[in-house]
Structure 1
């Protein structure tokens, strides 16, 4: 059996099993949902937000990319962030990375000339490695060094979130969303929190945006 044919057969089996277990499952799935959480995760095929948290479809709004980046030049990500914050009005945003991330390992080595677009994406992580090289290289093994960069990358992405105009507008308007940095262990399936910023947390002034000026400019 070809791989894609197997996927379609497995889909039918899954749908039949869901309907047999809960005849109203698909009727409920069609109803609008208002998730409280926006999950920014890695594209790695081994980690799915609903599976590792035992949540039902619709409980978490998800965006995934290579190495769970908050890339402020990525229109896809920014559109998802704006939708989550301004329309879904999520209360929590989670950046969740994982130990054993291949992209983190790749970012610690030399760029391959045949991977033009991957190189550009990994540069974000290389910059974090460069800034924290002494701390990372002090670890006792390659695995420990990789894990350290995984954690530092997550912390950096949480701060990148706080620096976006979407989050700063929301924080000035109310008491949401809180920002969380989580890391998932492939070896044991456990998630641990390594960073958090409550809504309204102070930022370094160099990252604060003059939103009042932006409002006046729009009015003019």
Structure 2
């Protein structure tokens, strides 16, 4: 579990094919690694990875084909900059929101423009995720806990302050950049809860639809 408050920027050292999937090495000299043990979870631009080796200045993790197909990690190469966050500890401050590190889909940066000292970004989410993105709600972009400033269909806006621009890889974003998105976990559980007994139905319906809401009294 993570908070979405990035601790450091790391750099991909190597990506090697390993037993059918890949082994990834990330280095960051801006973070202390003494408290990280083998088997610990580390969020890497929003992707929860397990440390299988600790060379002292970073970590090595195995990445499955499933993760490669569902995240932007498949496009990374040596030199790619990534956001890094160690797993949440019981005494840590929850400065962002609850982040699982399980990426829901890949989004795309549509536009970037100056907004006083901040930068305003417009991103486009996959159609299946649009219903989980709410005005003033939380979303995780490449592991960063952010507040949604506006929503228009599948597009949503983010206002990024100078500190976040300087201390995460979001400062590198340009139109066309692909990013890992994780929606608010509460929204996902709420959807399942609203389905009630229908959640156990094996008919193939796995999400809420307008007709389902109307049939069950949620819409008038």
The normalised TM-score by structure 1 is 0.25
Q: Highest relative contact order (Cα 8 Å, sep 6+), 1 or 2?
A: 2
Structure with greater strand share of residues = 2
Structure showing greater radius of gyration is 1
Higher helix share: 1
TM-score calculated relative to the size of structure 2? 0.25
